[in-house]
Structures are given as C-alpha cells and as structure tokens.
Chain A
Amino acid sequence: MSFMKGISPIRRTTNYLNASPLVLKRRVKILTVNFNENEEEEHHKGARDFVFWNLPQVQYKNPNVQIVTFRNLTPSPFITCFLEDNSKILFDVDSQSNKEIMDRLVKTVGKSKELLEEEALASEAKSNPANFCRRLGFDRHCICEMPGQVPCPIMVPVPKHWRGKWWNQGHRYEEE
C-alpha cells in the first residue's frame, strides 16, 4: 500500500467504500451530522467515529445526497435527514457508538436488504451485453442478425416443418 498515505488510508479503498449497508431511501436528500471535536466530550465520540469512518462510505453509496457536517455548534450530537417534502427526521446520537448509529440509520432511512438485492439484479439485467432489443438500449436487435444463425424470416422464409403452426395443424401426419 505505497500510495495509501494519510490517517487510516483503508477508508480510501473501493472495497471499504462499498462495504456500507446504508443506501438511503430516495426521499432523503440531505444528511446533516452535528458533533463536537473536543476529545473530552465522550458522548460525541460515536458521532465523531461515524464521521471519520462511515461518512465516506455513505456518500459513496449515495452520490446524490448532500452530506454536511457541523462542528461545535450544539452541546449534544445529532443527525438530521431532510426529506424532499421539506420535513426532517432527527436522530439523537448522544453516547451511541458509530455501529449503533449506522444500524439505526439503516433501520429507519435505509433501503432494506431485499430491496437492494432486487435492485442489484435489475441493474445486472440492464448492463448485460448478451441481451437483445435495441429499443431497450442493447446493441443487437435480434439473433437473426448474427452470422451463423437462422436468417430473419422477413428475408428468407423458415422451412415449413419448423413452424409451430404447421406442426399443430396436423400437417406432420400428412403423407408427402
């Protein structure tokens, strides 16, 4: 890790940044953390750790959420989530560890694990280059345009005995 300079450079690895379970629900637009930097204020330690260790992870997973920190403004630490309908959710994080804060946020304003898995599957289907359908954004419109495959029936009619219509109308039982 020669390029990993600075304090706790593990925070700057993609693996670490992707490891956060917190993907905020779509209505959360702004996340604000209020905490104090004074080491002697032990009840702020969890909030301080949250900002140091977990905030880059949260921003990485939620690139379109505005994250703001306020230092030394109030005696108690808290986190505010502002929603798009101008309401806010207040989390009092006094004397809570950063893990507790994270779990609490995931439970209240985070997308559930099942929803995240569904979304991951949906996004995989979108980006798979093996799919067809130019209307949906893929490169190829049909397998008929690939060399070596059955040509498009518009150009070359398909042999009758390959057609389901011929097969089901009983022509297979006819004598030639």
Chain B
Amino acid sequence: MAGSLPGVLKNSILLGQVVPSNLKNALKVQVPYFTFDERLKAYFKKTEDFIAVDPSKESKTGDVVIIQKLEKQTKKDITHHVSQTVFKLGDVKDPISGEYVVGSEYRNRRDKIDELYGATGNFKYDEAPKRGRLEGTRDFTDKPTYRTWHEFEKDDPYGIRN
C-alpha cells in the first residue's frame, strides 16, 4: 500500500480531522488530499486515514490536528503522533485575534447582543464543562455508528435503528 501512496502523504507532517474509531489508545485521523486527473486537468479530493498516538490525550473526534510521522514505529499500524491541534470542535479559536469564535461571529460579541435582548436560557460557554463528560450516555460521536436491523433486549447506543 505504501508504494501506491501519493507523494503528499509521505510528508513528515500532515493535517487531518480526528474521525470516530474503536481504537482504545490511538486516534484515527482522516487526511484530505488532492489528486490530479490528467485528462480533465482538474483536482479531485481524496482522503486517507492514519492511526496516530495522542500523548496528551486532549484530542476528541472532530478536532483538526497536525500529525507527525513517528521516527520509530513500536506498533505496525501506529504511524504518526499528534503534534499540535489546529482547531478544536466547538471551541474554535480565531488565530488572528485569539478570541473564541462561533461561525462568522465572535463569542463575546454574540453574548453582548444576547444580553441586550435579555436572553435567559442560553448555553454558557465558559461555565460549561469540557467535552467528553457525556460520552457513552448522550454523546455518541467518539465511536463509529452503524445501522442495526434486529431488536435486541439491550440496544447498543452506537447502533441506529430508524
């Protein structure tokens, strides 16, 4: 498989998004790259999954991270390690201003407008606990979900039966 990998993926650092996986001590990171179609002369997006170790254990699914190739691979599948987090899902920090951001609005500006309108029951970002508290009970983004068809007595919360 290594022979057919395009040159970009052989770089020492790669940027990717953490994707849900069943791995216990490692993360699956999806790296997007572009391949050139010679006939159409256009670039098409492809993705490649890498398994990376996160020494700080801070990364969750959906975070955009930079993974760096390991000099020595202790396990055959773990090829990279997470070197820095670019964006955290839900807590995106604008690198230019350093402020927390929601879409195309700054969080503090949004809060000020809400205050002026007299909003009461809004979600308070600074008072909310860190991500990961409801994993397994209400938050099912850490492991991959799948469609199930049979009704078991004890339903696996990661199996969707709609």
Contact = CB atoms under 8 A, between A and B. Distances in A.
Nearest to B34: A59
Contacts of B12: 29, 84
A82 B34 contact: no
Chain A interface bracket (under 10, 10 to 19, 20 to 34, 35 or more) = 20 to 34
A12 B15 contact: no
B43 A73 contact: no
A90 B95 contact: yes
Contact of A29 (B13, B40, B87, B94): B13
Interface residues of B, number: 34
Contact of B104 (A60, A67, A68, A72): A72
A64 B68 contact: no
A56, A66, A76, A92: residue with the most chain B Cβ atoms closer than 10 Å: A66
Interface string A11-39: 01110010000000000011010001010
Contact of A68 (B10, B32, B43): B32
B13 A30 contact: yes
B94 A63 contact: no
Contact of B8 (A63, A72, A76): A63
A175 B7 CA distance: 69
B7, B95, B96: residue with the most chain A Cβ atoms closer than 10 Å: B96
B41 A17 contact: yes
Chain A's interface: helix, strand, loop or mixed, by majority?
Answer: mixed
Contacts of A29: 11-14
Contacts of A82: 13, 15, 66
A62 B16 CA distance: 19
B40 to A, nearest CB: 7
Nearest to A6: B42
Contacts of B15: 30, 32, 66, 68, 82
Contacts of A65: 8
Contacts of B7: 63-64
B105 interface: yes
A149 interface: no
A41 B105 CA distance: 12
A64 B12 CA distance: 11
A65 B33 CA distance: 9
B29 interface: no
B140 to A, nearest CB: 24
A74 B32 CA distance: 20
A81 to B, nearest CB: 11
Given A36-B104, A66-B8, 4 more contacts: A12-B40, A14-B41, A66-B11, A72-B104
